[in-house]
């Protein structure tokens, strides 16, 4: 079975801003003026680079305190994971689950999904292109929700200012963690899902006829 | 410009069928005109190519105007007020950014301001700027550039994430002190709903096609 041809095979590019299909030799989209590309430039290289930087930042984001609670009984530094554990022990299960999902599960799953997509697009692992497209869609959709922990820190720092009684100050992990979220969002944006289908088309063409 | 076939999708420029490439698999296919509410799906990967959203620009205009009003309220009134003994603290976005800067975290403050104030403002105000006059076939200066901006801003506008953050913080603080809801919280809820409705209602193909039509019309006149 052969698939209908991609636009790229006819030297046609779909504008990444306004979706208009125009010949690539025009260089700029005749409708919105954006630069035309058949595929996102250096898509895999950029995605790998952004993913590696996100992983590097993820280490301090988890080891360093995200906020410090200081009060009459001295100071107490909280990391992301210690916060989750504390809520679990306090039997505040919904909060623990939300924070665990947004700050631990989603970033790890997102990086794993993008690594898988990059490997599949460069032909090192095989998976059904439909499943990969779905994974890409979900990755793009969920990524921003990881930011919730940074917002919680901002909110608590602003509200809990009772001098010596109790004060919350932000820790260095807040910046690292927002860096992780921003980098993984850029990584997802720089990945071109069309590469998966290019690979799939090439595989179909290579396969010996039955 | 009046639609020739009011039940079909946006006024298309070309006489022949328009070509479209799926953004997931790049399959080139003809874009049929659709009835209101219908969608067209890619024949290879099944991804939705586009949908004919009825009254797309009117929806975008109305909801973005409402969102703008909610935005003013959400930034004016505090989301939460917390009282412990004789001291009470208020939470607004400006106040949160101010405290973060004072606590030597200006980058996080910049991020919070960008994701919850700048990006949503560009998104909502930009949509109003483009969609409202375009309904009457007028494109204000720079309309195309603004449309590009608001497409870039879409993933970075994180008000709904901030709202989830507010709920989580409420659950965290609930036992520690007295927390009161402010008008800002309800305004934020309205803002999130209206922004989502405006974004969900807009038909990007219609938007770009109409921008192109108005530009061609202007070029013909001069």
Residues A32 and A51 in one domain: no
Say how many domains are in chain A: 2
* Contact across the interface for A154 and B108, Cβ inside 8 Å: yes
Q: Which residues of chain B have pLDDT under 50?
A: 1-3
* pLDDT score, position B3: 46
CATH number for the domain harbouring residue B156: 1.20.140
* Contact across the interface for B28 and A12, Cβ inside 8 Å: yes
- Give, for A63, the enclosing helix (H) or strand (E): helix A43-63
Q: Where are the alpha helices (DSSP H) in B77-142?
A: 93-102, 106-113, 119-134
* Per-10-residue mean pLDDT, chain A, length 210: 81 88 88 88 94 95 91 82 88 86 91 93 86 90 90 92 86 93 94 90 77
Q: Structure pTM?
A: 0.90
Nearest CB to A175 within list B96, B108, B158: B108
* pLDDT score, position B10: 64
Residues B45 and B59 in one domain: no
Chain A residues with CB-CB distance to B165 below 8 A: 147-149, 151-152, 154-155
* Contact across the interface for A147 and B155, Cβ inside 8 Å: no
Given a contact cutoff of 8 angstroms between Cβ atoms, the answer to whether B67 and B124 are in contact is yes
Residue A79, domain extent = 42-206
Residues A48 and A32 in one domain: no
* pLDDT score, position B45: 85
Nearest CB to B100 within list A20, A147, A154: A154
* pLDDT score, position A210: 60
* pLDDT score, position B118: 95
Q: What is the pLDDT of residues A55-99, one digit of tens each?
A: 999 999 999 999 988 887 777 888 999 888 988 888 888 888 988
Residues B46 and B74 in one domain: no
* pLDDT score, position A26: 87
- Alpha-carbon gap, residue A107 to A54, rounded angstroms: 9
Q: Where are the alpha helices (DSSP H) in A128-207?
A: 129-142, 148-159, 172-190, 194-206
Residues B59 and B39 in one domain: no
């Amino acid at each position: 079975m052969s698939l209908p041809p991609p636009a790229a095979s006819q030297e046609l590019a779909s504008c990444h801003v306004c979706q208009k299909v125009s010949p690539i030799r025009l260089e700029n989209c005749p409708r919105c003026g954006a630069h035309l590309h058949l595929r996102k430039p250096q898509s895999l290289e950029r995605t790998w680079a952004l993913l590696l930087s996100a992983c590097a930042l993820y280490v301090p984001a988890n080891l360093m305190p995200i906020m410090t609670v200081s009060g009459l009984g001295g100071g107490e530094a909280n990391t992301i994971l210690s916060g989750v554990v504390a809520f679990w022990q306090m039997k505040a299960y919904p909060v623990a689950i939300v924070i665990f999902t947004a700050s631990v599960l989603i970033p790890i799953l997102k990086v794993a999904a993008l690594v898988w997509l990059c490997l599949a697009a460069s032909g090192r692992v095989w998976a059904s292109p439909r499943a990969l497209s779905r994974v890409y869609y979900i990755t793009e959709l969920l990524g921003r929700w990881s930011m919730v922990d940074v917002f919680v820190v901002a909110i608590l720092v602003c509200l809990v200012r009772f001098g010596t009684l109790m004060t919350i100050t932000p820790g260095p992990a807040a910046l690292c963690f927002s860096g992780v979220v921003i980098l993984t969002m850029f990584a997802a944006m720089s990945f071109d899902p069309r590469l998966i289908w290019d690979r799939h088309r090439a595989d179909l063409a290579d396969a010996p006829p039955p | 410009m009046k639609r020739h076939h009011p039940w079909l999708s946006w006024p298309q420029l070309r006489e022949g069928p328009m070509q479209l490439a799926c953004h997931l698999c790049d399959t080139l296919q003809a874009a049929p005109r659709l009835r209101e509410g219908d969608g067209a799906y890619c024949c290879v990967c099944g991804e939705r190519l586009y949908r004919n959203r009825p009254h797309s620009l009117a929806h975008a205009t109305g909801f973005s105007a409402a969102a703008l009003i909610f935005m003013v309220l959400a930034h004016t009134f505090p989301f939460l007020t917390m009282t412990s003994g004789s001291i009470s603290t208020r939470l607004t976005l400006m106040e949160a950014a101010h405290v973060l800067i004072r606590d030597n975290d200006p980058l996080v403050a910049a991020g919070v301001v960008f994701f919850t104030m700048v990006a949503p403002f560009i998104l909502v105000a930009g949509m109003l700027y483009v969609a409202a006059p375009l309904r009457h076939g007028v494109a204000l200066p720079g309309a195309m550039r603004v449309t590009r901006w608001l497409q870039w801003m879409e993933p970075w506008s994180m008000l709904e994430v901030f709202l989830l953050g507010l709920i989580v913080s409420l659950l965290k603080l609930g036992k520690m002190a007295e927390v009161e809801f402010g008008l800002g919280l309800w305004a934020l809820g309205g803002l999130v709903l209206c922004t989502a409705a405006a974004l969900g209602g807009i038909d990007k193909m219609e938007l770009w096609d109409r921008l192109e039509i108005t530009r061609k019309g202007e070029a013909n006149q001069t």
